[in-house]
Structure 1
Amino acid sequence: MRIRKFFGAAAVFGSVLFATLSAAPAVEATPKTSVTLGMSIEPAGLDPTIAAPVAIGQVTWQNIFEGLTTIDRNGAVQPQLAESWEISEDGRTYTFKLRPGVTFHDGEVFDSSVAKFAIDRARGEDSVNPQKRYFQTIESVETPDPQTLVLKLREPTGSLLYWLAWPSSSMVGTKSADNNKTTPVGTGPFTFVNWSKGEKVELARNTNYWNKGEAAKLETAVFRFISEPQAQAAALKAGDIDGFPEFAAPELMESFEGDDRHVTVIGDTEMKVVAGMNNARKPFDDARVREALMMALDRNMIVEGAWSGYGTPIGSHYTSNDPGYVDLTGVYPYNPEKAKALLEEAGYGNGFTFIIKAPQMAYAQRTAQIMQAMFAQIGVTMNIETTEFPAKWVSDVFKASDYDMTIVAHAEPMDIDIYARDPYYFNYKNPSFNEVLGKVQQTTDPDEQAALYAEAQKILAQDVPALYLFVMPKLGVWDKKLRGLWENEPIPSNVLREVYWEE
C-alpha cells in the first residue's frame, strides 16, 4: 500500500483578524463524532444473507451485522460472536463456545438457538442465501446449551471458519430476519436509522453493544450514493462527504494534489475484473475462440486506458494477495497474429459478431470500449450493451445466463470456486477442476491448500472460461484527519468500528 498526502499553501490571516482571534477567549475544539462516506453503488437491499451484490455488505457487514467469526483488516479469521472453537480430529465436528451477554438491536438475546436458526435458514431447502453452497456440508446443527453450538459435517470443510466470517454468514435474529432487507437488525456496533432510497443510509452508534472495549467512537455515520465519478470528486472537494473509500475516478486522483484536506490511499483488493463468456453458447463453447480472444487483449494497455494505470494484470481468477498465487499472464500473452490463426483454425476466419453486456460502472464501460477496439484488429465485432447493475445484470446475466459476454469485477475473496458451481453464469464445466477444488476442503494444511489453488489457477488459465484482465486497487480519498478506515480490502467492506476523527 502507498499513501500520498498533498498539502497546499498555508493560509495567511490579516493582522486585524489575528488580533481579534487573539483577544477572544480560548475555545476548546469539539471532536467530530459523525462521518459521511460516499459509495458508487446503492445496494438493492440491506440483508447480505439473501442477496449477492457486495454493496450490501459494504454498508452492513461489521457495522450492523456480525458473524460467528470475522475477517480482520489483514485478511485473517478472528473470533467474533463465537469466542472460541474446537475441531475434531476427523475435521467433521466444530464445537463453538458463544459469547454471553450479546443482544440484537431489538433486544433479542443471541444464543445457540438463534445461531442454529440463522444457519438453518442459510442452508435450508428454501434458502436464497447467495453463498448457500458454503453450508451444504453441514449435516446437523446441535445446541447442547445456550452458549454451545455444534456443527456436524458430512465431510471435512477446510474453509468453514473463513466462510462463516462472510457477510452472507451473518447471524440474524428470529424476530427480525424477515425484515432485514429494508430495516436490518443485527448485533453490531451500529444500529440502522433510515434509508432514503436513491440518496443515503444512516446509522447510529449502538449504545448497548456487547463489546464495550471496542464500542464505536462515532455517534453517527452516513453512506451517500454518488454514481458519477466527476460528482464524487466534486462532493469531496466541496466537503459534502468526508471520504470515498472506493473512489471511482482514477484519472482524477491527481486532482487532489495541493489539497491540504485530503489523503489519497492506494491499497489492495480482491476485485478481479474479468470478461465472462457464456461457455454454453457458440462460438464461446470452442476453447480456441476463447484463447484467441485472450491473445487479442493487451492487458497492460487495458489497465492504462481503463483505470489510468492503477491495476495489476492477471492470467487467472486469483490475486497476488491469496495463498498459492501464480503469475499466469504469460499463458496466452498478447499476440494478435496468433489470435487470427486460431480463429481461422476454429472456422471463424472471417470473424464473428457478438454482444457484451457491460454494467454502467466506469471501469466496465471503459474496459469494454478498449476491448472492442482490440477485437476489431482480429476481425471480431463486439457490440456494447449497457446493462444496469445490479438489478438488470443480476436478472439477465447472473440468473438467466442470457448473454454472450459480460464484464464485472468479482470482489469476493478466494472465489475461484465459482467455476465449480453448477449452475453459474459462465456455464463452465470441468470435472478435473472440480476435483482439485474438492481436495482443498479435505485439508486444513495451508501449504497443501496453496499447492491445490495453484493447480486450479493453471487449469483456468489454460481453459479461459473468462478473459482475465486485471485486479483493481483500492483507490481511496478521505479527510486526512479521519482515522481507522481500512487502507486495504481483504473483503468488500466499510468497517466503521475503529473510525474516529483526530483532534
Structure 2
Amino acid sequence: MSNKAKVISALFLSLMLLLAGCGSNSKSSSSGAKETSKESTTTALKHDKSELVVGLDDDPPQLDPHFSTAAVDRQVFHSIYDTLVDVDEKLNFVPALAEKWEISQDAKTYTFFLRKNVKFHDGTPFNAEAVKFNFERMMDPKAGSPRASELSSIQSIEVVDENTVKVQLSKPYSPFLAALSDRAGMMVSPTAVKEKGADFANSPVGTGPFKFVSRVKQDKIEVAKNPDYWGGAPKFEKITYRPYADENVRLTNLTSGDVDIISKVPPKDVEKLKTDTNLKLSEVGALGFQGLYLNHKKAPFNNKALRQALDLVIDRDAIIKVALRNTAVPSAGAIPPSSWAFDKTLKPTKKNIEKAKKIMADAGFPSGFSFTLQLPAKPVEQQMGQMIQSMAAEAGIKVKLELVEFGTMLDNMDNFKFDAVRLGWSGRTDPDGNIFALYHTTGSINYGYSNPKMDQLLEEARVETDQAKRKEIYSQAAKFGQEEVPYIFLYHELDYKAYKNNLQGYKHIPDTMMRFQDVSFK
C-alpha cells in the first residue's frame, strides 16, 4: 500500500461517527472532560485488578508507528511507545522523552534535551543516536514512511552529545512540535529494527510503559507492564486490546463486564450509558472532521460545479438529528471548533436544491449526474448513506451506495478506484495537520485536488510563527475551500470514552488517544 493509502487510514473511518456527541446532562471531570451522572445499574464489574481489557473499534492494521496510518493503531501505540513531546488535556506541549527543548529565534533550530538512563524494552539505551536513527528512518525516501512528509522540513540532525539532539530545519515549520507529539515523535529501538527488519511490526519495541507480548489478528493484542519505565511502573500487570468492529458487540462486552473501557461509543447508546451507575461516560471536543472524500482525477468530481451541487443538496442538520442522535455539530471546514484556528464566522453550507439545480444546468448537466459512494458496512454509515442518497435525488443526482471492507476501501482510494468515499480524519493538534493534509496539492489525504492559490496560503501558514497571523491565513484558506469544495464536510464530532467507574486516573485527551500509565482500578 502506498503512502497515501496508509495515511488515509488515520482518517478515522466511519467509526468516528460514533464519537460524535453532545450530552446535556454533564458535569466537568478532573481531566477537563465531561462525565455524566447515573441513575440505574446494569453493568457488571470484574474483580481482577491486574489486567485492563480495552475494546477497540477495529483491529489495528499496523504496530510500527513510522508506517502506521490508522487511528486505531495509535490507541495501542501509547502503551508501547513514547513520543519526544506529548500533549496534556488542554493540548499544551509537555515533556516526554525530551525533558525540555529550545527553539532558535529564527524558528529553524530545535535543540532537544533528552531524559537520561531511559532504555528500550530490549535493554538497549535510548539516546541522541537513537533519535537520529528514528528521524532518518522516517525520512528515508526508499522506506516510504507516511511520516516523511511530517519531517520534510528537516535539513540536518546533529548529535551534540549522548542526551542532546539539534535539529536544523530548512525553513520555519510551525507544526513541528505537534508532529513530534504524534507518530513522527514515537521512538522505536534501532537495534530491534536492524535485527527484525520487516518483521519489526509483528514484535515492536519501544520505551513505553508496557512491552509488547503477543498478537492474534482480529482477536487480541497483549502488552505487559514495563517495571523499569522511566515514568514509574504502571499499575496494571497487563493490558489486552480486543477489536470489536461491530459497535453493538463492543458495547455489550463493556456492559457485560468483559471489557473495562471502549474507544468509541455509538451515538444511539450515549443516552443509555448515562444511566448506568457502573459506567462513566466522558466526552471532549475532538480534533477531526467527517465527510465525503472526492476523486478529483476523474468525472464527476473533477468538475467544480458538480462538487458544489452535491455540497448544496446535503442537509447536515437532518443527518445529525436522525443518524447521529444530536451528537455532533455541522462542519464548515477542516478546522474544528476545538482548535485555536477555528473561524466561527464560517458557516456550514445550507441545503439549497434550487441553487444546486441551477449550478448543474449552467455547467451542462440539467438532468443531474450520478456517482458511487463507498462506505463501511456500519449501521450509522448505512443510514447516513441512505439519507445522502435521498437528499441528492431531490436535485436529480443519482447516488449508488456500495458497502466496502475498510482495507479494500483504502486500496481503492490509493489507486483512485472510487468516485466518493464516506470517511473522516482524526485530526491533529496543529491545524496544519488537517487543512494542509487535505487541501494542498501534496497533502497526504488529498485525492487529486490542486490549486496554486490554496497551496500558497497553506505554505505561508506553515512558516508563519505568529499564531494570530496563522489564524487569518487559515480563515482565508477555509473560505476558499468552501468555494472550491475539495471535500464535502458534514460534521465535527465529540470524542466519547465509556469505562467502568472503578477505573481511576484516566485522563481524556482531545487527541482521542488512550493513555494508561497512571490508570488503575480502585
TM-score exceeds 0.5? yes
2:384 corresponds, among 351, 367, 372, to 367
2:243 equivalent to 1:225:
yes
1:471 corresponds, among 487, 492, 497, to 492
Q: AA paired with 1:107?
A: G
2:502 corresponds, among 481, 485, 497, to 481
Q: AA paired with 2:435?
A: I
Q: AA paired with 2:161?
A: D
Alpha-carbon spacing, 1:122–1:257, altered in 2? closer, same or farther (3 Å)? closer
| Alignment deviations for residues 214-238 of structure 1 (CA, whole Å, 9 cap, x no partner) | x322221111111112212221221
Offset at residue 362 of structure 1 (A): 4.2
1:460 corresponds, among 481, 489, 493, to 481
| Alignment deviations for residues 189-208 of structure 1 (CA, whole Å, 9 cap, x no partner) | 11111112111111111101
- Given that 1:129 and 1:168 are in contact with CA atoms closer than 8 Å, whether structure 2 keeps it comes out as no
Paired residues, what number?
478
Offset at residue 31 of structure 1 (A): 8.0
Partner of 1:18: none
Task: Determine the C-alpha separation between the residues in 1 that align with 2:130 and 2:347.
Answer: 50
Partner of 2:514: 494
Partner of 2:216: 196
Q: AA paired with 1:471?
A: H
Partner of 2:447: 426
Partner of 1:2: 34
2:397 equivalent to 1:380:
yes
| Alignment deviations for residues 135-173 of structure 1 (CA, whole Å, 9 cap, x no partner) | 111111111211111111111112111111112331111
Offset at residue 360 of structure 1 (A): 2.9
Partner of 1:24: none
Offset at residue 108 of structure 1 (A): 1.0
The two structures have a TM-score, normalised by structure 1, of 0.90
Percent of residue pairs identical: 26
| Alignment deviations for residues 108-157 of structure 1 (CA, whole Å, 9 cap, x no partner) | 10111111000001111213222311111111111121111111111111
Offset at residue 305 of structure 1 (A): 2.1
Task: Determine the C-alpha separation between the residues in 1 that align with 2:146 and 2:378.
Answer: 22
Task: Determine the C-alpha separation between the residues in 1 that align with 2:139 and 2:105.
Answer: 24
Q: AA paired with 1:402?
A: K
1:135 corresponds, among 128, 133, 151, to 151
Secondary structure in 2 matching 1:32: coil
Task: Determine the C-alpha separation between the residues in 2 that align with 1:401 and 1:48.
Answer: 25
Q: Which runs of 5+ in 2 are unaligned?
A: 1-32
Partner of 1:22: none
- Given that 2:274 and 2:281 are in contact with CA atoms closer than 8 Å, whether structure 1 keeps it comes out as no
| Alignment deviations for residues 293-352 of structure 1 (CA, whole Å, 9 cap, x no partner) | 111011011112221111111111110011221246646311112111111111111111
Task: Determine the C-alpha separation between the residues in 2 that align with 1:426 and 1:118.
Answer: 29
Task: Determine the C-alpha separation between the residues in 2 that align with 1:453 and 1:129.
Answer: 27
2:117 equivalent to 1:101:
yes
2:350 equivalent to 1:318:
no
Partner of 1:19: none
Offset at residue 363 of structure 1 (A): 4.1
Secondary structure in 2 matching 1:97: strand
Secondary structure in 2 matching 1:176: helix
Alpha-carbon spacing, 1:148–1:253, altered in 2? closer, same or farther (3 Å)? same
Partner of 2:92: 76
User: Equivalent residues in 2 for 1:249-260 (5 A)?
Assistant: 249-256=266-273, 258-260=275-277
| Alignment deviations for residues 384-413 of structure 1 (CA, whole Å, 9 cap, x no partner) | 111211x2122111x212211111120031
Offset at residue 445 of structure 1 (A): 2.0
Offset at residue 33 of structure 1 (A): 3.0
Secondary structure in 2 matching 1:90: coil
Secondary structure in 2 matching 1:175: helix
| Alignment deviations for residues 391-447 of structure 1 (CA, whole Å, 9 cap, x no partner) | 2122111x2122111111200313211121426542110111111111122232222
Q: AA paired with 1:496?
A: F
Task: Determine the C-alpha separation between the residues in 1 that align with 2:107 and 2:347.
Answer: 38
- Given that 2:461 and 2:473 are in contact with CA atoms closer than 8 Å, whether structure 1 keeps it comes out as yes
- Given that 1:328 and 1:461 are in contact with CA atoms closer than 8 Å, whether structure 2 keeps it comes out as no
Partner of 1:119: 135
Partner of 1:25: none
Partner of 2:436: 417
Partner of 1:240: 258
Q: AA paired with 1:6?
A: K
Task: Determine the C-alpha separation between the residues in 2 that align with 1:417 and 1:484.
Answer: 35
Task: Determine the C-alpha separation between the residues in 2 that align with 1:42 and 1:10.
Answer: 27
Offset at residue 373 of structure 1 (A): 1.0
2:357 corresponds, among 340, 350, 360, to 340
The two structures have a TM-score, normalised by structure 2, of 0.87
Moved more, 358-367 or 441-450: 358-367
Task: Determine the C-alpha separation between the residues in 1 that align with 2:106 and 2:257.
Answer: 56
Q: Which runs of 5+ in 1 are unaligned?
A: 12-28
Alignment RMSD: 2.1
Partner of 2:13: none
Alpha-carbon spacing, 1:129–1:447, altered in 2? closer, same or farther (3 Å)? same
User: Equivalent residues in 2 for 1:277-296 (5 A)?
Assistant: 277-296=294-313
Partner of 1:402: 417
Q: Using CA pairs below 8 Å that are at least 6 residues apart, which structure has the higher relative contact order?
A: 2
Task: Determine the C-alpha separation between the residues in 1 that align with 2:141 and 2:369.
Answer: 42
Task: Determine the C-alpha separation between the residues in 1 that align with 2:147 and 2:515.
Answer: 21
- Given that 2:223 and 2:240 are in contact with CA atoms closer than 8 Å, whether structure 1 keeps it comes out as yes
Q: AA paired with 2:442?
A: D
